[in-house]
Amino acid sequence: MEIGAIFAGLQPNPSAILCSSRSTSALPPPIFTDKRQFCPPSLKLQNQSHFATYSSNNVGAASIASNVTRELADIDWDNLGFGFMATDYMYIMKCLQGGDFSKGELQRFGNIELSPSAGVLNYGQGLFEGLKAYRQQDGNILLFRPEENALRLRMGAERMCMPSPTVEQFVEAVKVTVLANKRWIPPTGKGSLYIRPLLMGSGAVLGLAPAPEYTFLIYVSPVGNYFKEGLAPINLVIETELHRATPGGTGGVKTIGNYAAVLRAQAVAKAKGYSDVLYLDSINKRYLEEVSSCNIFLVKDNVLSTPAIKGTILPGITRKSIIDVARSQGFQVEERQVTVDELLDADEVFCTGTAVVISPVGSVTYLGKRVSYGNEGIGVVAQQLYSSLTRLQMGLTKDTMDWVVELK
């Protein structure tokens, strides 16, 4: 998930679109292979006149798929920013409270209809995820650890009293949505397709209670590389009054309210020239938690330390991956309580998230005292881990971790 403007969410970027030449052809079924062989659930396409439809029994599906997805969208890929851009299709699946999700549909991307009394609007009963798809030179598409997003969504759904898709349903829905929007995946090296799954209480409810109906939705947007010309450091300020999460709360799940709660402190920080806010624990006010929407690491004497996941910190998938990659390269990694004093004395500091992968920290300001790090904040360890993980995500190095899902 996402530094600076990305922390605040994907923002509209209409200037990157040169021509809105959307395909009006019938949507083909997905053609893909997956070396881990997830079992696909049934998929039903919306059969209405304003939606593209396709019967999986049609002859020549592979040929149609090739024709429809052969060309790229008419976009200035070299100047693609990290902002929202409408694509062709979104995926929707619904279920009732106490039921199971089934019969997912691809629909033309567009606005959705919600009752003013929807649970997500009145009581914040909603979760989201974020992951990416990359295009290889040979045309194959790569996803990075989508089952981890599925597992995290299920964990969050339990906390928020919502039903959730199975891991298999989640991963299959991501694959279907990505392939339906294949022409929006940037060319190799130009960026990625950002994938945003949502789970929300869409049914109407007036009194405080779980919604009677739930919607699982996936939309996608092409995004450029966050760092156009190499890693760039950010400047953080430590927040001492406001807190992102408290013990027993929802800080450890990716619920929508967690992100609205950080906007005020983030806006104040940016008005003072900082990139973002680093939060402390709400009890002792001396242990690091996380930045607005990403995890934090520090390096001291070649040892990596990051706050332990203990209910108030989101278990980031990039965080988890960086820990595994670092350990595979011989680094010692400690997951524990990390104090402000240790942070100020570190050799390197960096953040991790879906959007940036790794973002080096150039400086941290605490109680008016500014501490800078290394060579303009870009440390050797951060650079090494960033290169290793991004090469793995883009299929440029062998996947010894079995993390990459390949779509053909």
321, 318, 267: which is closest to 292 by C-alpha?
A: 267
Task: Tell me the β-bridge partners of 371.
Answer: 364
Q: Are strands 348-353 and 295-300 parallel, antiparallel or unpaired?
A: antiparallel
Amino acid, res. 243: H
Helix (H) or strand (E) holding 216: strand 213-224
149, 153, 44, 201: which is closest to 107 by C-alpha?
A: 44
Is 234 within 8 Å of 362 (Cβ atoms)? yes
Query: Is 398 considered catalytic here?
Result: no
Task: Tell me the β-bridge partners of 353.
Answer: 357
The helix/strand/coil state of 302 is coil
Neighbours of 120 (CB within 10 A): 22
Cα–Cα dist 241/228, whole Å: 35
* Chain-centroid distance, C-alpha 269: 23
Is 197 within 8 Å of 221 (Cβ atoms)? no
| Structure-block tokens of residue 175 | 């694959």
The helix/strand/coil state of 255 is strand
Task: Give the Cα-Cα-Cα angle 171, 253, 350 (nearest 5 degrees).
Answer: 90
- Among the options 35, 254, 398, 408, which is catalytic? 254
Cα–Cα dist 282/273, whole Å: 25
Is 280 within 8 Å of 243 (Cβ atoms)? yes
| Structure-block tokens of residue 265 | 């402190």
Distances (CA, A) of 63 to 34, 70, 156, 206, 309: 20, 10, 40, 50, 48
Number of helices followed by number of strands (H, E) in the chain:
9, 19
Ramachandran angles phi, psi of 172, nearest 5°: -65, -40
Catalytic residues: 254
